[in-house]
Structure 1
């Protein structure tokens, strides 16, 4: 994927810009033409990994500035304690490496066992975090027809 960083779709995925079906179709065509993936590989990714955009985001991760920007409204709309900021920084670190996060990751991943989510954030804050998580996910899913 690093060899294709100059492609618009790869840049969009890395910087959390909305991906389109055309972007992913173009990227799939490059992968097929260069032998990076077979049609069966692409079909498998679409079926099992939530789509090409989510798969590639998971492999490449997310730009730190893009991850921090995704949480900017959350941080300004809540008066966060030091403990909450520490956990939020840990969440951002996870997203930078893994490309996205789900609420279940915060409950099931041992990386987050130091501070259980429900002990650090209230229900409203958890709901607001989940909105950010879902936005990160949907930006890696194409608008328009699925690719």
Structure 2
């Protein structure tokens, strides 16, 4: 036979005493209770907290990748050929960014002229994407159809 549980309504809580009597001593407390909240913060504190959400090594890798992009951009400029803006976040148009990312991955190499290992190419592309996503969070080189050509170029270079 199934048991039937019935809940009784709880009595209303009487108003709490406003004195500062301790819960066990019955004597007024001489110290003030700890504050449940910190002092109000400003926007700078929020920005600082958000900045520390990224590992320092990730930040360094992103900075290295952006420097690599700038060197590549300057190299193309010095050769008198079409070149992208110095910062890839200025290419927020997906088809244009796709085209430049394809060229970047095909042209980038180590200082001695050797090819980057496959994992390094992937990390370079990811570093550029991390930077671009600061300005346009919806962009994703690895999932969006607008970057299909880039993905195929990257896959081909990684083989």
- Answer whether TM exceeds 0.5 for this pair: no
- The TM-score, its normalising length taken from structure 2, stands at 0.25
Q: Which has the higher contact order (CA 8 A, sep 6+)?
A: 1
Structure with higher helix content: 1
